[in-house]
Amino acid sequence: MSEMNLVQAIQSALRDALRGDDDVVLMGEDVGRLGGVFRVTSGLQAELGEERVLDTPLSETGILGAAIGMALYGLRPVAEIQFADFIYPGFDQLVNEAAKYRYRTAGEFSVPLVVRAPYGGGIRGGQYHSQSPESLFIHTPGLKVVCPSNPYDAKGLLLQAIADEDPVLFFEPKRVYRAAKMEVPDEPFTIPLGEARVVREGEGLSCVAWGAMLYEALAAAEEVAKQGIDVEVIDLRTLWPLDIDTLVASVRKTGRLVVVHEAPRTCGFGSELVSLLVERAFLHLEAPPVRVTGYDTPFPLTHEREYLPLAHRIAPAMVETARY
């Protein structure tokens, strides 16, 4: 065991995967000699060579198209998109190609591809370096979507994603890249996809979050506990496939629901979570479900704290829901 931050844990997972399987290939803009814009892949090319850690041209369409071809021919590529905001030029490759090969070939071909992408705000990146596009890919049948909040989960989930036979979008909350630290096994291990985790047990209200917003939800839960409100906080970890059973069990127990995410409110994943839980636990609800989200505007540079659903916005929503 070693204390690692999120960057170190992801790098540890990538190193383990590259060492353990000659078919694993890491590729992306500046991932080799530079070590990536956040230095997540620093040192991997020097250790494993240019044929295993590939610097690519600045073309997201090319990166993802090449990675899909590699996967179809037996490799296990891990493609990095420098910022999730840059993934849109490759959207067609993911949605119309990677996501559909298993279906269109009746299971003859699969695409064991992982796409890593730093996402979200909190670094004063403005509108082109702060977006949270997870709902676009959750909406696409054939894609799996993962978003760890801490170093332990990041390593275990990434190794599982690389071992998966289907394409996985692996969104990394860059706001806590170096802020979140914990003990992580040095040896390889996996965490199954599709399993949420209850990180704070409570009886009065269920709060669902993922990525960097988990810490804001926990901070808000501690704040409202001073008013006697007992909040259960759930970290989704895998957004799709969704661990709906854990969410239903929590809402049936507490009768109240708050969902937190950075992405804009309209058609965000929070809307789907609310719908699913209303369908399955309506008679257990004692208050309308509440979403605390980003706003329906481009991500601002100068008003980042006002845009993000931080603890100072989550706590009042919890109080209102608990007292409904």
3-state secondary structure 218-274: HHHHHHHHCCCCCEEEEECCEEECCCHHHHHHHHHHHCCEEEEEEEECCCCHHHHHH
Q: Tell me: the pLDDT tens digits for 193-216? A: 999 999 999 999 999 999 999 999
Radius of gyration of the chain measured on its C-alpha atoms: 19
Side-chain-side CA neighbours of residue 128 (13 Å): 2
Interval 150-174 mean pLDDT: 98
**Predicted local distance difference test score (pLDDT) of residue 126:** 81
pLDDT band at residue 122 under the 50/70/90 scheme: confident
CB 167 within 8 A of CB 99: yes
CATH among 3.50.4.10, 3.40.640.10, 3.40.50.920, 1.10.274.10 for 197-322: 3.40.50.920
Q: 198 forms bridges with which residues in the sheet? A: 234
Residues 6+ apart with CB under 8 A from 113: 67, 68, 70, 71, 76, 77, 78, 79, 98, 167, 168
Strand bridging mode 53-55 / 24-28: parallel
78 has pLDDT over 90: yes
In percent, how much of the chain has pLDDT > 90? 95
pLDDT band at residue 301 under the 50/70/90 scheme: confident
Q: What CATH homologous superfamily does 2-184 map to?
A: Thiamin diphosphate (ThDP)-binding fold, Pyr/PP domains (3.40.50.970)
125 has pLDDT over 90: no
Where are the chain's structural domains? Answer: 2-184, 197-322
Residues 6+ apart with CB under 8 A from 98: 64, 68, 71, 111, 113, 142, 143, 167
Interval 141-154 mean pLDDT: 98
Cα separation, 121 vs 175, in Å, equals 6
127 has pLDDT over 90: no
Residues 6+ apart with CB under 8 A from 96: none
Catalytic residue chosen out of the listed positions 129, 139, 284, 303: 129
CB 25 within 8 A of CB 77: yes
Q: Tell me: the pLDDT tens digits for 41-57? A: 999 999 999 999 999 99
**Predicted local distance difference test score (pLDDT) of residue 158:** 98
Interval 151-159 mean pLDDT: 98
Cα separation, 232 vs 311, in Å, equals 15
Mean pLDDT across the chain, nearest whole number? Answer: 96
81 has pLDDT over 90: yes
User: Do 197-322 and 2-184 have the same topology in CATH?
Assistant: yes
Q: Examine residue 241 and say whether the peptide bond preceding it is cis (omega within 30 degrees of 0).
A: yes
- Single out the residue of 196, 186, 180 nearest to residue 147, CA to CA: 196
Name the H helices within the chain.
6-20, 44-48, 60-72, 91-92, 101-104, 134-138, 151-163, 213-225, 244-254, 269-281, 304-307, 311-322
Interval 133-162 mean pLDDT: 97
In percent, how much of the chain has pLDDT > 70? 100
Cα separation, 138 vs 169, in Å, equals 9
Helix then strand then coil, in percent of the chain rounded to 5, is 40, 20, 40
**Predicted local distance difference test score (pLDDT) of residue 123:** 83
Q: 240 forms bridges with which residues in the sheet? A: 145
pLDDT band at residue 140 under the 50/70/90 scheme: very high
Phi and psi angles of residue 45, each rounded to the nearest 5 degrees, phi first? -65, -40
- Single out the residue of 52, 5, 295, 322 nearest to residue 155, CA to CA: 5
Q: What is residue 53's three-state secondary structure? A: strand
Q: What is residue 120's three-state secondary structure? A: coil
173 has pLDDT over 90: yes
Determine whether 129 is an active site residue.
Answer: yes
